[in-house]
Structure 1
Amino acid sequence: MEQWPPKSDDRLLIELGAALRDSGPVREEFLDAALAAFSWRTVDAELAVAELTFDSACDREPVGLTRSVGTDRTLTFRSGPVVVEIEVTATGVVGQLSPASQGRVSARTAAGQYEDVPVDELGFFSMGVPPVGPVQLRASTAKYTVRTCWVSLR
């Protein structure tokens, strides 16, 4: 086995040239490592978790809150200046993002994403009936991206 790195620059250039000409296919573990490293580019957004600050199933109604008829449950999540408010009814989930901005809201369970809906310019969105078990919402606009903590909606 030859010494690495080679002592002469000429030998090093020959080795590097051979490596570039005949690299062969990239091994799967290197591709996985590259994709994992690439996913870290959004780590700040992934760490912005909106914590549950109000749940009508547990908390008393705040003074002055007007609740719509037929609402089974109201939840409020907050991460800094970003607020995600949702109402869960028998027919689905409606919500609003504040500050209002167009974007998308997706919902997922431990099994993966189950819904992805648009958010209008006033920050409103609606989804179907959530599945049983813990759910996490992800709101993404041009101004911010935030995830809620995991919570059971039904």
Structure 2
Amino acid sequence: MNGTDDLNGRGAPTGADDSGGEGLFGEEGCDAGEFDDGLLEEELRRAAAVLDPVPAELQQLAVDAYALHDLDARVAELTFDSLVDALPVRGAPAPRMLTFRAGEVTVDVEVTQDGLMGQVLPPQPARIEVLGGPRPGSPLTADDLGRFSADTPPSGPFALRLRTDADVVVTQWLRA
């Protein structure tokens, strides 16, 4: 072998010769620009299914997330977040204050290390779910004044889904 020869001994990189022989993927006369993208994608999907299958829990999460999709729900926009909008204060950590708005409905939420509490405005009874990852939503009930609370704070990303007599409102997802 001289300095220009490589492993195949012909001076061309293995699988990349111009002689019309085997190409990079073992196909006759095929170079990198000629292979079928759809075929390659299908081969990669089959390999991933065998070598790195999607866990059953993750598949169930995806199905559950799709089931949560509610076409009638209005998305409540975050209009105030004390982590972003408030001035920092020295001392003990202050509770996180959040305000969401969807049309005429406003939801004020205070998140502390002891739990969360909030109020739906205008005051009205509502069923509220604290959504958080793979677990089913924690059910809460707002009283006639729109007040609700939970004894445990959300961990990780969370959102709220409110069901009033007239509306279904879902907040955007935030980290606790």
TM superposition score normalised by structure 1:
0.61
Are 2:120 and 1:97 aligned?
yes
Aligned partners of 1:75 and 1:86 also within 8 Å = yes
SS of equivalent to 1:118:
strand
Runs of 4+ residues over 6 Å off in structure 1: none
Q: Which moved more, 1:128-137 or 1:98-107?
A: 128-137
In the alignment, the residues of structure 1 paired with residue 122 and residue 81 of structure 2 have an alpha-carbon distance, to the nearest angstrom, of: 20
In the alignment, the residues of structure 1 paired with residue 70 and residue 130 of structure 2 have an alpha-carbon distance, to the nearest angstrom, of: 19
Are 2:74 and 1:51 aligned?
no
Deviation at 1:89, TM superposition (A): 1.4
Deviation at 1:70, TM superposition (A): 7.6
TM superposition score normalised by structure 2:
0.54
Aligned partners of 1:95 and 1:126 also within 8 Å = yes
Higher relative contact order (CA 8 A, sep 6+): 1
Percentage of pairs with the same residue: 38
Aligned pair count reads: 107
Q: What are the equivalent positions in structure 2 for 1:1-154 lying under 5 Å apart?
A: 43-46=70-73, 48-60=74-86, 71-153=94-176
Deviations 1:29-78 (A, max 9, x none): xxxxxxxxxx99x94423x11011100011126xxxxxxx9851100011
SS of equivalent to 1:57:
helix
Distance 1:92 1:79, change over 3 A: same
Aligned partners of 2:117 and 2:147 also within 8 Å = yes
Structure 2, unaligned stretches of length 5 or more? 1-65
SS of equivalent to 2:72:
helix
After superposition, the CA RMSD in angstroms is 2.6
Structure 1, unaligned stretches of length 5 or more? 1-38, 62-68
Deviation at 1:138, TM superposition (A): 0.5
SS of equivalent to 1:58:
helix
In the alignment, the residues of structure 2 paired with residue 125 and residue 131 of structure 1 have an alpha-carbon distance, to the nearest angstrom, of: 14
Aligned partners of 1:71 and 1:87 also within 8 Å = no
